[in-house]
Amino acid sequence: MILNVLGNMESFDALKSEFEEMAAAAFVDTYRLDPEFSELENDDRMPRSYSACMDRTEPSMTDQDWENIENHTASAYFIVRNIFSERTRISVAMVTARCLGNLIDKGMITAAKIETAGLAHGLVRWRELITQMTDAVEQRDQKSMLLALYKMFVRKPISDDDKLYSCGMQNLGLPDFVIAFGEDEEPSEQEQIDSVARFEKAFLATFGLEDASEPLTPYKKRPDFGYPLGDLRHNPFGYVLIG
């Protein structure tokens, strides 16, 4: 899992210490600030990158967010390695959310995106989803907790000719979903809108929290969409076909 954050710090020392120590306290001691790609200068590629990654299902980027992205003076990448099982990955996702919320609360960052999903939210939206997750944990509401993580870490729908698919489910230790339409039949705007609920229902059905109203089967064809091995967004768990 790879997290990118922007800010206006002159050193990474405080950011690195705050994030890594909090992650380690939650037993995710492999989370590290990446020194190779993090840089204490403005990266003029970031406005374009965040624009490409912004969540379009529930848009949340504000003028203030874009101003912060444009004027950042530092870009940092946090990377966690050696996560394997579904349960471990969900725990890591929860820790990531808590660490990110801590950085936001302390005013240490001004923007954030999940590189391994190609997904960015506005800072207020990040905080809203993190609060939903922590409240759900306190109330032992598994469904709300998982939905908050799903919205934080999974991008959908992504269109590729006659298919719609999700990206980022590997962050939760699961295959991504794909909806296939008729050959050479591009999904309509309404079908794209409807797919959001279909993806969400399939996600919850995976955990037994919703009845699967549509069949969920392994996507056995070799994907001609998605991301190849080596791409940050590649999902090693493959794809599941909805319907």
Q: Where are the domains of the chain?
A: 2-151, 155-242
pTM of the model: 0.94
Q: Which of helix, strand or coil describes residue 170?
A: helix
- Per-residue pLDDT reduced to its tens digit, 31-66: 999 999 999 999 999 999 999 999 999 999 999 999
Report residues of the chain scoring pLDDT below 70.
82-87
- Per-residue pLDDT reduced to its tens digit, 62-92: 999 999 999 999 999 999 876 655 568 899 9
pLDDT value of position 83: 64
Task: Give the C-alpha separation, 5 to 114, whole Å.
Answer: 9
pLDDT value of position 86: 58
Listed in sequence order, the residues at least 6 apart from 7 whose beta carbon sits closer than 8 Å to its beta carbon are: 15, 72, 73, 74, 76, 108, 109, 110, 111
Q: Specify whether the CB–CB gap between 68 and 120 falls below 8 A.
A: no
Closest residue by Cα to residue 128 from 158, 154, 108, 105: 105
pLDDT value of position 87: 63
Q: What share of the chain is helix, strand, coil (3-state, %, to 5)?
A: 40, 20, 40
Side chain identity at 103, as an amino acid letter?
Answer: L
